[in-house]
Amino acid sequence: MFGPAQLLRLLHINRVLVRHGLDEIVFATHLFRPIGFLRHLLPWNWLPRHHLDLPRGARIRLALEDLGPIFVKFGQMLSTRRDLLPDDIALELAKLQDQVPPFPGDQAQAIVERAYGQPWQAAFDDFSFQPLASASIAQVHAARLRGGREVVVKVLRPGIEKVIRRDIELLFIIATLAQRYWKEGRRLRPVEVVAEYEKTIFDELDLIREAANASQLRHNFKDSPILYVPEVFWPETRRNVLVMERIYGIPVGDIAALRRRGVDMKKLSERGVVVFFTQVFRDSFFHADMHPGNIFVNAEDPDDPRYIAVDFGIIGTLSPTDQHYLAENFLAFFQRDYRRVAELHIESGWVPGETRVDEFESAIRTVSEPIFDRPLKDISFGGFLLTLFQTARRFNMEVQPQLVLLQKTLLNIEGLGRQLDPDLDLWKTAKPFLESWMRDRVGPWAVIKRIKYFIPRWADQTPDLPNLVYGLLRKANSGELAVQVQKQEMERLRRDLHRANRRNFHATVGAALIVSAALLLGLGIPQPTGFWPGSLLPWLLAGVGAGLLLGAWPKDVG
């Protein structure tokens, strides 16, 4: 299972876990709890270790930071999975910072030259050696295109794909073991969690994909007064090099700078909510990594502030069905219609169809009613989703990756909005939007819109309808349809006969063996000596015969 590279990496991981005192967490798991007392006999517990006075969540965070960028990003993803982790660990993992030392600027220039197949001067008038920012996957340099446009150049780290593949393989091995031996493994599906992470991180390695995401989001918010998305320069963009317009703005987390500029914080916070719900419900295409490091504010007009987004490696989408159920969930929750919330979870397939609605409704009411003792402006949408998912977990709700990304983004937006304006009433801002969206998709006008949407397709197919009808009638008249149906029936009959013959053969052999065993026992025929005990052969024959008979018995009988 483990190759030499994985084994060495695993030993390094074990050393890091031990250094941070995490062996106690390993031995506290269901698998190792019976031998947990052995932890005190291990040599490393005889020596003093650092960080043991810290909470377990802080120790896990520090260990992931020591293990390197891939584990840091995995921890960041896990921090959004409150269905998998206790709150104290999830909150600590949310503090993981994707900041790593930069690689040399001349290496970045060399990567650009290999990607272009020519010196960097052919594309740029200037290319800064000093990076503007450095993260685990890539780093960003300032540059100026031929012609004078100021841009930023995002360059993948050299050799990063090999490092990622090594650690992903190891994570799959660990997840496979966890799914096999951990009692919660089947429900929480750790292998699928790692597979989801693998897809996300390899998507981030393709900068053309990120450029396409940025281009789509820019199109969605073209001429928008509330969100600006930088322009992508496609001729200079490659799989490992992304060139975008350079933007200038105030980092949204720099509250002091925003206040010094006199920015209307109330308007800015409300616009953040509108940006989020527009992406989710109008476009079903949302920036899923909207932490403060990826958001800036254009404060040229402090009374009319505008958001600027960067870093489009992670994008979320929702199906029309998920959009509908999510909007209805929000509206039903704030109308305290808990039965409808329960029904929506079952109708959407988020919880098993056999779930009792009354029991689920009661559980939702138990966790939701205390929330309504507070003013609506103090109710957290993200907290509501988290509470709902944690409650649904008791009813075997399966992980919904698209909703996990949504919850993460909503928590970021909500936290950011209330940092800008502590009195932000997110429900007051969102409710009219959701109600308008539902009206557009339910009722007569929604039917008319759908008909208008499909009319061009129907019009394209209308000229072919006479030929299709004629062909169908001709086949029916000539018997071709009947022949096709009969061919399918004959194939199914052939398979059934094959299975029946096999069962008959097994039954005949099994019956013969049982009869032979009965004769051996009943007639007292001498049996082999040496290897076989005196009375073993008849029972062996009878057992094999019974097994053949049971194996031959049709599975759909009795």
Residues 6 or more apart whose Cβ sits within 8 Å of residue 232:
211, 214, 215, 218, 242, 243, 244, 245
CB 306 within 8 A of CB 298: yes
| Amino acid found at 477 | N
Find the angle CA(71)-CA(76)-CA(78) to the nearest 5 degrees: 90
Distance CA 60, CA 21 (A): 9
Nearest by Cα to 361 from 375, 376, 346: 346
Provide the β-strand partners of residue 298: 306
What are the start-end ranges of the H helices in 319-400?
Answer: 320-334, 338-347, 357-368, 381-393
Distance CA 416, CA 410 (A): 10
Nearest by Cα to 308 from 319, 323, 297, 322: 297
CB 318 within 8 A of CB 442: no
Residues in the chain: 558
Reply yes or no on whether 425 is catalytic.
no
- Region of 431 on the Ramachandran plot (φ > 0 left; ψ -120 to 50 alpha; else beta): alpha
Please count the CA atoms within 13 angstroms of the CA of 249 that sit on its side-chain side.
28
CB 62 within 8 A of CB 20: yes
Number of continuous H segments (helices) and E segments (strands) in the chain: 22, 10
Per-residue burial over 384-394, b = 16 or more CB atoms within 10 Å of its CB, e = otherwise: bbbbbbebbbe
Distance CA 309, CA 295 (A): 5
Evaluated on CA atoms 46, 47, 52, 58, the torsion sign reads negative
Distance CA 446, CA 137 (A): 44
Per-residue burial over 147-185, b = 16 or more CB atoms within 10 Å of its CB, e = otherwise: eeeebbbbbbbeebeeebebbbbbbbbebeebbeebeeb
Determine the 3-state secondary structure of 477 from DSSP: helix
Query: Cα dist. 263→226, 250, 286, 420 in Å?
Result: 14, 11, 25, 10
CB 377 within 8 A of CB 425: yes
Looking up tokens 């599975």, which residue turns up? 555
Task: Choose the catalytic residue: 264, 289, 311, 322.
Answer: 289
CB 49 within 8 A of CB 19: yes
Helix/strand/coil (H/E/C) assignment for every residue in 27-47: HCCCCCHHHHHHHHHCHHHHC
User: Which residues are identified as catalytic?
Assistant: 289
